[in-house]
Amino acid sequence: MQRIVITGMGVVSPIGNSVEDFRANLFAGTCGIGKVRFPFRGQEVSFPGAAIKDFSPEEYIDPKKLPMMDRVAQLAVGAAMQAKRDAGLAMEGDERVGAIIGTGAGGQNTQEESYMRLFDPDGSGRVHPFTIPRLMISAAASQVSMALGVTGPCFTVASACASALHAMGTAVAMLRCGLIDTAVTGGAESCLTFGALRGWEALRVMAPDVCRPFSLGRAGMVIGEGAAMFVLETEEKAKARGAKIYAELAGFGMSSDAKDITTPDASGASRAIANCLKDARLDVADVDYINAHGTGTRINDAVETQAVKQALGDHAKKIALSSSKSMFGHALGAAGALETLATVLAVRGNVAPPTVNYLEADPECDLDYVPNEAREMKIDVALNDSFAFGGLNAVVAVRKCS
């Protein structure tokens, strides 16, 4: 079986708009969660949120093209351009290069803006002429293909919070079977709009301040935004061209709960972990660290803890496990990509990122969650979990390359 490696990485996130800044803030335990504010009926309404700061899309995109792009596509292109430059690989016109991008909701900023224009009694009632090309869920993938000159397979994978990992797993499968030679893959999301946040608020799963995964007293999740992209190649191709190799994307597993649209199931999540280990030809004892889904809700964190124990048995007590959502929030369809980046950096640096905002242990969450401070430790193999609404589960394995 072909080994698939990562040769390029890029990111735009609430804790950094480059891999270098992301790495520094990740291991420092920097929390990118703050407040996002909106005018509503003559008042200011605020929500906890993890927003990107100081992102200038003009660095990556012709300013003339920006009006045709929703923010989610701008973030995707920014991260993808970084990854391409990092990989040092020409892609223009190469039909053996594919772009497989995950996103959960598409152009939410465009959708909100359109509704505001339509229903504002003092407005024109007309929407932007590029409303549909901006909000369609495939827009980010299309804009990435155009920005990078990718002429091979290009499409979007949408499976809620597992979108990015499902996209990356699909890219791995396409590389292994020889459909493509190179993949640009990852995820992007930008849903910090008034309407979307009100929708999440209505579910009663939003924290009032910060995200405290696995901690006693956790009160819910915080929505974030961002994009992380990777260039994947076969190890043989990467070595032949003398590419820098960050890590091996060693395995991918998935499953469906088939039980409930919002409540996770430990057995479904456990099967995804087991399937990933089987695909990577890894034993349970090989796992050193897990970058968890860890949303900060009472039910999710307890169920994920159960799933890890079901999948790893007694070894679960011997590993480190942490949630990076405590720092950059839940980026929905982009979450798995941002957290895979955190996982790759953990493997390369032999450092487990912390779970920040952690207060004290919860009897329902009784594993080692690396509370509040990063930890130097040997990490040769790490997993990254994404367990989405609808019971859609995906897990990737990252292995150190010698």
Q: Please check whether residues 299 and 379 belong to one and the same domain.
A: yes
> What is the reported pLDDT for 361?
97
Q: Please check whether residues 217 and 329 belong to one and the same domain.
A: no
Residue 94's pLDDT band (cuts 50, 70, 90): very high
- Tell me if 12 is assigned to some domain: yes
| Res. 124: pLDDT tops 90 | no
> What is the reported pLDDT for 300?
97
Q: Please check whether residues 207 and 328 belong to one and the same domain.
A: no
d(C-alpha 303, C-alpha 340), whole Å = 21
- What does the block give as tokens for 177? 């079977």
Q: What is the pLDDT of residues 256-265, one digit of tens each?
A: 999 999 999 9
Q: What is the pLDDT of residues 174-229, one digit of tens each?
A: 999 999 999 999 999 999 999 999 999 999 999 999 999 999 999 999 999 999 99
φ and ψ at 116, to 5 degrees? -60, -40
Q: What is the pLDDT of residues 284-299, one digit of tens each?
A: 999 999 999 999 999 9
Report which of 354, 254, 249, 226 is spatially closest to residue 294, judged by C-alpha positions. Answer: 354
> What is the reported pLDDT for 276?
98
For residues 97-102, average pLDDT = 98
Residue 122's pLDDT band (cuts 50, 70, 90): confident
d(C-alpha 349, C-alpha 239), whole Å = 21
Given the residues 211, 276, 293, 365, the one annotated as active site = 293
- Tell me if 338 is assigned to some domain: yes
Residue 3's pLDDT band (cuts 50, 70, 90): very high
Residue span of the structural domain in which 315 resides: 252-399
| 293 is a catalytic site residue | yes
- Given 186, 213, 240, the domain boundary residue is 240
- Tell me if 345 is assigned to some domain: yes
Q: What is the pLDDT of residues 339-377, one digit of tens each?
A: 999 999 999 999 999 999 999 999 999 999 999 999 999
**Average pLDDT of the residues of the chain:** 97
Cα of 107 vs its chain's centroid, Å: 17
For residues 101-110, average pLDDT = 97
DSSP 145-206: HHHHT--S-EEEE-BTBTHHHHHHHHHHHHHHTTS-SEEEEEEEE---SHHHHHHHHHTT-B
> What is the reported pLDDT for 156?
98
CA dihedral in degrees (343, 379, 326, 206; nearest 10)? 70
For residues 299-305, average pLDDT = 98
- Tell me if 176 is assigned to some domain: yes
d(C-alpha 263, C-alpha 285), whole Å = 29
User: How many domains does the chain contain in total?
Assistant: 2
C-beta separation of 72 from 109 below 8 A: yes
For residues 144-165, average pLDDT = 98
Q: Please check whether residues 218 and 266 belong to one and the same domain.
A: no
Q: Please check whether residues 35 and 108 belong to one and the same domain.
A: yes
Report which of 84, 105, 74 is spatially closest to residue 12, judged by C-alpha positions. Answer: 74
| 161 is a catalytic site residue | yes
For residues 25-43, average pLDDT = 94
> What is the reported pLDDT for 373?
98
> What is the reported pLDDT for 123?
72
> What is the reported pLDDT for 231?
98
Residue 37's pLDDT band (cuts 50, 70, 90): very high
- Given 240, 266, 281, the domain boundary residue is 240
Instruction: Establish how many alpha carbons lie within 13 A of residue 399's alpha carbon, considering only the half-sphere containing its beta carbon.
Output: 21
> What is the reported pLDDT for 284?
98
C-beta separation of 220 from 200 below 8 A: no
Q: Please check whether residues 229 and 262 belong to one and the same domain.
A: no
> What is the reported pLDDT for 335?
98
Q: Please check whether residues 60 and 179 belong to one and the same domain.
A: yes
SS3 assignment, position 259: coil
> What is the reported pLDDT for 120?
82
- What does the block give as tokens for 324? 């990076």
For residues 143-168, average pLDDT = 98
Residues 6+ apart with CB under 8 A from 214: 292, 294, 301, 305, 323, 355, 358, 362, 365, 367, 369
Place of tokens 């992209």: 229
> What is the reported pLDDT for 376?
98
SS3 assignment, position 243: coil
Residue 201 amino acid letter: E
pTM of the model: 0.97
Given the residues 31, 154, 161, 211, the one annotated as active site = 161
Question: How far, CA to CA in Å, does 167 sit from each of 208, 211, 330?
Answer: 32, 26, 18
3-state DSSP helix/strand/coil percent for the chain, to nearest 5?
35, 25, 35
Q: Please check whether residues 270 and 159 belong to one and the same domain.
A: no
| Res. 42: pLDDT tops 90 | no
> What is the reported pLDDT for 150?
97
- Given 240, 268, 288, the domain boundary residue is 240
Q: Please check whether residues 37 and 168 belong to one and the same domain.
A: yes
- Tell me if 188 is assigned to some domain: yes
- Tell me if 245 is assigned to some domain: no
Cβ neighbour number for residue 305 with a 10 Å cutoff: 22
- Tell me if 247 is assigned to some domain: no
Given the residues 31, 154, 191, 330, the one annotated as active site = 330
Element (H, E) at 248: strand 247-256
Q: Please check whether residues 191 and 278 belong to one and the same domain.
A: no
Report which of 188, 213, 198, 208 is spatially closest to residue 35, judged by C-alpha positions. Answer: 208
| Res. 402: pLDDT tops 90 | no
For residues 94-109, average pLDDT = 97
> What is the reported pLDDT for 1?
77
C-beta separation of 164 from 334 below 8 A: yes
Q: Please check whether residues 209 and 298 belong to one and the same domain.
A: no
Residues 6+ apart with CB under 8 A from 178: none
CATH number, residue 395: 3.40.47.10
- Tell me if 246 is assigned to some domain: no
DSSP 8-state assignment for residue 313: G
Report which of 338, 292, 297 is spatially closest to residue 25, judged by C-alpha positions. Answer: 338
Q: Please check whether residues 229 and 256 belong to one and the same domain.
A: no
DSSP 8-state assignment for residue 223: B
